[in-house]
Amino acid sequence: MPKAKKPGNAGKTVGTVVSIIDTVTQFVTPEMTQSAFEWLQQQYFSDKFIDSVKKVHLPEGNDPLERIGYQCDAVEEIIEKQSAELAEDAPIGQWRGELNKIRRGLDLIDKAPQKDRKKIKALRHRADSLFNSAFSAAVK
């Protein structure tokens, strides 16, 4: 028999998440993020890519669908500008295919009358994986 959810658990979970975010923001200073962006410039990433990464990682207006869009923009920029420098076995074709699927998913969610949180979460997970894969290949 499944356990019934207690009514007070949702508030506790939200409070826990907020406290975790507060703790993390105490350790990640603006100077640290600025030095990370400077490092990206030293690695010869384009300004468009750096701007997309800033929008992904800075907390201003953290709409999940916008964040996914910025990740897609960053991956497109890697494919367009850095494909010559990537390793020969970099899965650029796979990235493009996944990028198209994520963009279609964004369009479908955007057109839906109600936003399905599970679909957004799944799409965000796919976008995170794609971004991490492309970025790690570009850094190597």
pLDDT of residue 44: 66
CA 45 to chain centre: 17
- Give 120 or 16, the one with higher predicted confidence: 120
- Over residues 51-89, the pLDDT tens digits come to 777 777 666 656 888 889 888 998 998 888 877 777 777
Residue 6 amino acid letter: K
pLDDT band at 107 (very low <50, low <70, confident <90, very high): very high
Residue 61 zone, left/alpha/beta (φ > 0; ψ -120 to 50; rest) = left
Question: How many Cβ atoms are within 10 Å of 23's Cβ, its own excluded?
Answer: 9
